[in-house]
Amino acid sequence: MGPEDVQWVSDVQAKKDKVRRGKADVCIKSNIKCNGYAAPKIRLFEPASASAASSSTQPPAADTGLLSGQESAVLYDSQTNSRLESYHHPQQLSLVPRFGTQEESQSFQFFLEKTSDLISVYSQPYLWTVLLPQATWHQPSIKHSLIALASLHQYLTTVGPASQRANQNFVFHYNNAIRALVADKPSIDIVLAACVIFWALENFNGGGQSAIDHMQAAIKILGEWKSKRRPNDPAKDFITKYIEPTIRDGVKFASKCRVEELAGQMSALSLTTRDVRIMNFDYPQFNNLEDAGDYLGDCINKILVLKSQAKAPLSPSPDLIEQMEELDARLYKWMNLFQNLTATGPVYIRRMLVVHNVTANILLDQLKTQAQYSSTTDEEQEQEARRCRFDFTVIEVEDILRYDPLATVESRRKKPPSLGFIPPAFLVATTAPKPETRTRAINLMRMLNVTEGPWSTEHAVQIAEGMLEIARDCAVPISAVDLRHMHFEFDEGRRVLSMRWEPEDRAVLNVSMVKRINAQSMNWRDSDMCSFIRRFGYQFPSSALMQSS
């Protein structure tokens, strides 16, 4: 679909007026000298019947001083606007010299390794990990948008000079993304893709209303495209399979009052019952990081209780479905509330709260699998989302330990986040479907080297390594040796922990194995040891744990 065939819609960028005309919030926060963005055009794209825009109208000017003397080497082919599947694989792009400057390549690599997996936890993994990175090769607006998003992510999760450089790169590439959209007039699928990237940018930056503005623009464009699309439109599959679901995901992250602003446009989206439930879920705002941790802890405890009770029936009971869907909505809503939390705190505490939210989603996935319940018909997308969650958990905690000074100072590490450092890593080390992911999580726990109550990384590593040995000795896939397949016994007199593995279906594989661990250093009692391990080391008040007894 060429630009000349498209009925261009009203200015997407007009939604950014209050940010474009003044100093950017990130510049104010970081004390960077900033003269603000140039004023936007009234429209990004003119209707097909209108005359060409005046050559005297220039797109917003980028601050080229940020990267003086460096050119962005981007190949652009107007004949391949909508053929995203024909682009290079994203894992190769950042290694190609013509992709761009060194700074662009490094930021793009950051996006591939960290940012894309984080967003994929909540929205359309294949879009964020493959299709959009592929599009950077031919679409300058997508390239600059993704680099801006990665730079913002880096700015928010690092400290010192590296953080300030990332902030400057964010402003520079965000401005260049706007320029590219204005100048190139790409096809409608690319315009919609830019809308969802801008939504992600504003969500990362805490701009709730701006994020909704981008979703509002995307919904309007999508509605007009649906009403006018032609048979055999080359953009159809990309928009319907990836962009429209991503827009639905974006709306679900909005507060209830902001969702109500979009009520008149919702007919353009094919909303499911689950979508509507999440959108209508209401919860009081957090006042501080402790509130955010308590909210997550309550969700995690409820999931663990349900996991201990689920017996994998042929179909889950209506009551269990109700509870799982409510937890699903609460975890979505947590992210919206957390993004709007203005209270400050150590960077590593904030980052670990996001990790625990991802961990809660992994646990909820496992509960749904146990109960043989699926909230989506796209099994491939569901599996990819789960992979991203495991990968993100390990990579993010590794990154916290390496680059956040507050997390790596021993005196600080003795005061871990309220939900702990160990449980997310132990969860991955004992339940991830790939052996390399489990091994990486085990190495992460060694790097952590912390004690949390009666639980330490030393204990967690021994259990996780014992499970790897069982899979190897029995010649079974590592996915068959999950923590829920393990039976633990603790001999308090001899101080020995026995781990017995039995396959889920003894009719298919009639074998079992026992591993014993010297538990002399384990400060455990027989009464609490088994349940503690099955909670992945999560420690909750006694009143909360009584629910599972």
* Structural domain includes residue 51: no
The 10s digit of each residue's pLDDT in 209-249 is: 777 788 888 888 888 888 887 778 888 889 988 988 888 87
Q: 280, 306, 337: which is the final residue of a domain?
A: 280
Query: Using CA atoms, how far apart are residues 549 and 169, in angstroms rounded to an integer?
Result: 53
Question: Of 398, 390, 451, 349, nearest to 118 (Cα)?
Answer: 390
Mean pLDDT of 513-542: 76
Tell me what the mean pLDDT of segment 176-184 comes to: 90
pLDDT tens track for 133-153: 999 988 999 999 999 999 999
Same domain flag for 307 and 448? yes
Mean pLDDT of 274-299: 81
Of 83, 461, 403, the C-alpha closest to 235 is 83
Q: What is the pTM of this model?
A: 0.73
Segment among 102-116, 414-428, 530-544 with least mean pLDDT: 530-544
The reply to whether 152 falls in a domain is: yes
Nearest to 353 by CA among 335, 336, 333, 332: 335
- State the pLDDT confidence band at 41, using cuts at 50, 70 and 90: very low
What pLDDT score does 141 carry?
Answer: 93
pLDDT at 76 over 50: no
Last residue of a domain, one of 280, 302, 326: 280
Q: Is 219 part of a structural domain of the chain? A: yes
Q: What integer pLDDT is reported at residue 128 of this predicted model?
A: 92
Q: What distance in Å separates the CA atoms of residue 210 and residue 223, rounded to the nearest whole number?
A: 20
Same domain, 445 and 343: yes
Give the count of beta carbons closer than 10 Å to the beta carbon of residue 78: 12
Joined together, the tokens standing for residue 304 give 């663990």
HSE-up (13 A, CA, CB side) for residue 128: 28
Which residues have C-beta within 8 Å of that of residue 218, sequence separation ≥ 6? 12, 192, 195, 196, 199, 243, 247, 250
Q: Which residues pair with residue 516 across a beta bridge?
A: 498
**Residue 76 falls inside a structural domain:** no
Q: Are residues 295 and 435 in the same domain?
A: yes
What percent of the chain is modeled with pLDDT above 90?
Answer: 23
In a domain, 34, yes or no: no
Please report whether residue 402 resides in a domain. yes
Looking at the structure, tell me whether residues 293 and 274 fall in a common domain.
no
Average pLDDT over residues 18-34: 41
Domains in the chain, number: 2
Band of residue 451 on the pLDDT scale cut at 50, 70, 90: confident
Structural domain includes residue 14:
no
| pLDDT one-digit tens code per residue, 299-345 | 999 999 999 887 655 577 888 988 998 898 889 888 878 877 777 77
Question: What pLDDT is stored for residue 488 in this prediction?
Answer: 87
- Supply the pLDDT for residue 510: 61
Range name among 46-55, 90-99, 173-182 with the lowest pLDDT average? 46-55
Same domain, 213 and 318: no
For residues 295 and 234, membership in a common domain is answered with no
Residues 268 and 332 in one domain: no
Q: For residues 413 and 537, state if they share a domain.
A: yes
- Which residues constitute the domain of residue 333? 289-548
At which of 246, 280, 314 does a domain end?
280
Same domain for 393 and 437? yes
Bridge partners (DSSP) of residue 455 are 452
- The Cα–Cα gap between 465 and 486 comes to 13
Mean predicted lDDT score pLDDT of the chain? 75
**Which tokens hold the place of 112?**
């591939």
Judged on CB neighbours under 10 Å (0-12, 13-18, 19+), 51 is exposed
User: HEC states along 210-271?
Assistant: HHHHHHHHHHHHHHHHHHHCCCCCCCHHHHHHHHHHHHHHHHHCCCHHHHHHCHHHHHHCCC
Q: Quick one: 295 and 276 in the same domain?
A: no
Q: Residue 502 contacts by C-beta under 8 Å, 6 or more apart in sequence?
A: 485, 487, 512
Task: Verify that 539 and 404 share a domain, yes or no.
Answer: yes
Block residue for tokens 């919030």: 25
* Higher per-residue pLDDT: 262 or 212: 212
Identify whether 534 is part of a domain: yes
Task: Find how far residue 10's CA is from the centre of its chain.
Answer: 30
Q: Is the same domain home to 105 and 136?
A: yes
